[in-house]
Chain A
């Protein structure tokens, strides 16, 4: 029985000249929406699920509950204990991955065509009836604890945590989604059951499927897989107040090299100037590209192995961050170069040639991302959770092309504030003094 609603069929021939990606927006008989790309040349399907909310839904005092819950849903489900579930999955040669991020939890699956129904039935038990057995909780809790302990002595994690704490304070963004040793020690089975109900519900799920599957088959699969999820999860958390101030934080750490994380306020993903900011960041510190900071700090001066900047438009706060590592004797000079480049770009924007080069790179590299069922499924589910239409794959390069040098200057003057940059330095830097 075929009851699919074809809300839109988008063929992206323009963006992808030879290998068209034909995205279909479909709705299952039970009302679950998904984006589908049929690709029948290899007998498997990549399925991506994202549930909006993620680890930021952790309740006060329960930090780490969402992450521990996602680590446990493959550790026993339905009639199967942890080892039984893994054995069943491997016997079907299916691949399942579960993860928790700040703004979402994710489920990724690859299933062979020949036993897709069995694989989906197994996956369903993990999503709908995870067991949270006491044995599994204790075992996985100890694994998460060891990750928390590792992060306590890892300079990159120390720097990231200190930056987040200053930026976001008491908001969930201000602490690690792993939780602390104390907070995870206090989590009960009931907390995990609550985290499961809070984060995995039909009102927040986004779905994409790419591969050897038809619309009808996908509809049946999704109704079986997700039909018994609760209708609604927990309310979304509030926006985070950005508490970052300009200055330098030095955290003493015995190592030949200092790790530096820096940044200040950023820009929302749906801001009209987002693409101008995106191009500006690309020129300044984008990856895969001959960016200014890489040229000044690495190529000309040999002060680092790599330096990058990135816009971080999260659901509840926006920052613009960068990171690098430098020998303790060189880090002061590297920080000076970053500040100088930040001030220069804020005052002058970028050259026409730089803007054109960044446009050519970003428009040319976009179609290269669509090079496999797995990567395409990942892109499509990401677009949905950001609220982008399927036609975005066609229009995205036009947004990039439309940015003018004036747009860049305007957004640079608005966003880039050299005095507002906070540098967190973890190491034993020479000639770098902490401010408050």
Chain B
């Protein structure tokens, strides 16, 4: 006889077995659905104290928030790219080439900046005298001078004008200028033509009432633009551009006093200055890191190096710079050497202070206990912490080095003039400041220099701010 309790339990057992049976018969669950990766959930992450903080990402994020710095970064990158590419672009003059005038052979000195060599345009059908230019194939030197009259030659004026007079001379008609340079001898009423006239100077007779010449020098045009006439003159097929030089490459920044292209010199100078800047920055960083690490990490050296630092730091940098440049021959190496000699000091001290702060942190002690070699600790544990500050100091020492170059050149110990640098371009330009028309020779290099140094300075500082974890929140 089963008790009520047993019957009850039997019933339940059966029900359970049935339920289990029916559950088992259901189709198997898809394996993939059994384990699904959870999506990143910020609120859930905060609960567990997890952070997706990444130092470099945050640094870059903060840096890119600074609009001015980002803008200048692009300006600087563009400028760097351009200075490297500039000599390979078409139509560039070499920086040290002295440009001579093709016919007179004189230097094209102090030519004002201009974007084009076109001096004047002549309409179609204009007749010119043309001569070929030696060394410039496919170019003509042209002018529209019909003939030149000796001083006091008599001719007939057939039409009078305030600027140009039409004249007849030996059966030819032409135009002469009527101004203070020609000083034509005119009757009381000059409008009453014709009459005989003369000038006390040698004057040119032009084929048309317009002078196609550049203050006495011929103008240049491409030969293909003309048809040649029987009498040796040429006629313009269409509207023709007459140029001051047999070249389409203009002197965008003008020329200096010996006819060198300032555009090419400015970019070549920027290259030199940036080269100095980067080399000095790298040398300073290498020496500074090496000394700084020794100074900070090796306790025995601390006292000695601190004393040495105090002595060297007491000497004004300017004085060391002047002294070294004075004793050694002026050259790129001298300049770089002199600047490196003082520049590493700040870096070394900085690195030392940082290393003293982090060298005894627990993870370094642990590392040391595990028998990691000193160099490995320095390279793997210490220096990665300093990357941002090292880059900052390097970014700031570039404008410093460029400035020092300007200073050394200024006091007469800089690079020779055939190595253009922003320093000696500015120094050359400085000598011309008394004449307002020539100030462009100072202003162009000064603008480029300012853009470069200000960009480096602002980018460096913005990066320093961005690299500070305090600003990452």
Q: Answer yes or no: are A and B bound together in one complex.
A: no
- Identify the A interface with B (CB < 8 A): none
- Identify the B interface with A (CB < 8 A): none
